[in-house]
Amino acid sequence: MTDLDRLNQVLQDQPYIEGFAQPSSVDFSTRSAVKEKDLKGREHLERWFHHLSSFEMTADTVSRSTDNFPQQILDLLASSTEFNSIELAQQWKVDHQKLIGAIKSLLANEGVLATKDVTEKRLELTNEGVQFANEGSPEFLVFQFVGTEGAAQADIMKQPFGKIGMAKAMQAKWVAVDKGTVVRKSTDVVDSTRKYLESLRLGEDVDENQKKELKKRKLISEVNIKGLLVSKGESFTTNLAKQEADLTPEMIASGSWKNKQFKKYNFESLGVVPSSGHLHPLMKVRSEFRQIFFSMGFSEMATNRYVESSFWNFDALFQPQQHPARDAHDTFFVSDPAISTKFPEDYLERVKTVHSKGGYGSAGYNYDWKIEEAQKNVLRTHTTAVSARQLYQLAQEGFRPSKLFSIDRVFRNETLDATHLAEFHQVEGVIAEKNLSLAHLIGVFTEFFKKLGITNLRFKPTYNPYTEPSMEIFAYHQGLAKWVEIGNSGMFRPEMLLPMGLPADVNVAGYGLSLERPTMIKYGINNIRDLFGSKIDLDVVYNTPICRLDK
């Protein structure tokens, strides 16, 4: 088997198809050793051979386009005395700045290179020069516009190239005006302005007079390019040892540091920008709510209990066991662990009694209360379950006037749509005082919502199993131009408070609202799925401001 046959076999496994990464310099140097006649009967070799010809680049430019500039520079210097970076960039047809970058990287190795600053004057096309080089000079565009038929002068003047183009074309005697009509004076013209600009752009030299003319027309300008004259340094080498960036404990222990070269520390370099987290819009609005509660003397309840027993979520709140909200259609029941078994025994007995037989002046619901129903674990459907636990504890510790709040997640088995998710956040406030009235509660709301920037409130009677009276809170929404419900509230029933052991003259007012609705209003988000859940746009999270000037 010949070498060519072997190559043919190797190439069999190489898919030279669209998107194939750039061929390497090895490809090109190998190809130059292959003759057309070798291709006969070696189809894979042939395919590869023609694939390479589809690249216009020579082996030289291909290897340059990769980033082994530093090594190429060293190889070049090994066989010459010095080079000018500006000239070399032109010769290699590479970006001068990239070449400078490579030289600078070599300078990190002390003594390998010696450099001197050089400045060269270069002609560069101005923006207008570039435009003319691309599209043609205005005079030529006028000549074209006029055509063999001629054109109205007024029409030419309406063209972006009209004014200058007319003047220059007249001067060059390409066209003439006859009673408002412009006609051609010449049959065959060459757009030399464009030609010279194109030549200059390619770094070719043109006649001095032409340069003067183009300069006068501000199509080219002289710029100073700073470059480097590079020669061998006192410890020049083409074999760069890899420089170590860090001295490690291993190097010290083994003594290998003695034979290593170390990179100089760069004390000028900027530090790495620490990547930081972003607060979700809900968390931003939550912190605003917390501040409002704190400023009104509330303290925060512990809400770290997503799984709750039906007892605390419903029974303690005097919500009958047949209540539709306790249905699997509305509530998520937990299958593992399915039940809770530890409850304060005597309190549980009192709850059972008030449900089934009544008490404290109430007739109760008059049904067969079952412990099994109360034991069922659920994902809490409201933070009022948290309030119930807290109020029970307050009664055990001995009553003192309290203002409590919580802001956390609750879960409901809802049909999902643009405004409903199966989980959301509730903001809940609870005030326990002696002889508290509904008027106090309205006063608290007025203050609370005023701090949020909502001043126009209305209240509507409603029903909750655990409050009496109960009120829905409405606010006038300027944008929607209508009253929208923003919260639910009420005075907790004695059937809930008295079994807990709270004194008879203690009243507890409570209210709850969602965190999502005010957040959506404040940040102008229309679909709740854009705010919460797996489909949210992280940029929204990164970009929502903490500070809004909406108050």
Nearest Cα residue to 466 out of 426, 432, 496: 496
Ramachandran angles phi, psi of 466, nearest 5°: -105, -5
* Chain-centre distance for alpha carbon 360: 59
Residue 257, strand partner residues: none
| Closest CB 298 distance from ligand PHE, rounded Å | 14
Distance CA 401, CA 425 (A): 26
Q: Using the rule CB under 6 A, give the single segment among 190-198, 293-301, 505-513, 525-533 that binds ligand PHE.
A: 505-513
Of the two residues 161 and 405, which places its CB atom closer to ligand PHE in the complex?
405
Of the two residues 286 and 382, which places its CB atom closer to ligand PHE in the complex?
382
Q: How many residues does the chain have?
A: 551
What is the total count of residues that contact ligand PHE (CB under 6 A)?
A: 11
Q: Applying CB under 6 A, which of residues 382, 425, 493, 517 lies at the interface with ligand PHE?
A: 382
Using rule CB under 6 A, residue 281 touches ligand PHE: no
Interior angle at CA 407, CA 403 and CA 412, nearest 5: 125
Phi and psi based region of residue 179 (left: phi greater than 0; alpha: psi -120 to 50; beta: remaining):
left
Radius of gyration of the chain (CA): 42
Ramachandran angles phi, psi of 447, nearest 5°: -70, -45
Of the two residues 490 and 494, which places its CB atom closer to ligand PHE in the complex?
490
Of the two residues 303 and 384, which places its CB atom closer to ligand PHE in the complex?
384
Of the two residues 228 and 508, which places its CB atom closer to ligand PHE in the complex?
508
Binding mask 465-484 for ligand PHE (x = CB under 6 A): --x-----------------
Residue 121 structure tokens: 């004057």
User: Is residue 544 within 8 Å of 281, Cβ to Cβ?
Assistant: yes
Q: Using the rule CB under 6 A, give the single segment among 303-311, 345-353, 487-495, 528-536 that binds ligand PHE.
A: 487-495
Using rule CB under 6 A, residue 384 touches ligand PHE: yes
Which residues from 402-441 bind ligand PHE, rule CB under 6 A? 428
β-bridge pairing 299-300 and 402-411: parallel
Of the two residues 309 and 488, which places its CB atom closer to ligand PHE in the complex?
488
| Closest CB 415 distance from ligand PHE, rounded Å | 18
Q: Applying CB under 6 A, which of residues 85, 340, 489, 507 lies at the interface with ligand PHE?
A: 489
Q: Applying CB under 6 A, which of residues 464, 507, 519, 544 lies at the interface with ligand PHE?
A: 464
| Closest CB 497 distance from ligand PHE, rounded Å | 12
Binding mask 512-531 for ligand PHE (x = CB under 6 A): x-------------------
| 3 state SS for 226-279 | EEEEEEECCCCCCCCCCCECCCCHHHHHHCHHHHCCECCCCCCCCCCCCCCCCC
Q: Applying CB under 6 A, which of residues 377, 510, 516, 532 lies at the interface with ligand PHE?
A: 510
Residue 405, strand partner residues: 300, 429
Which residues of the shown chain bind ligand PHE in the complex (CB under 6 A)? 382, 384, 428, 464, 467, 488-490, 510-512
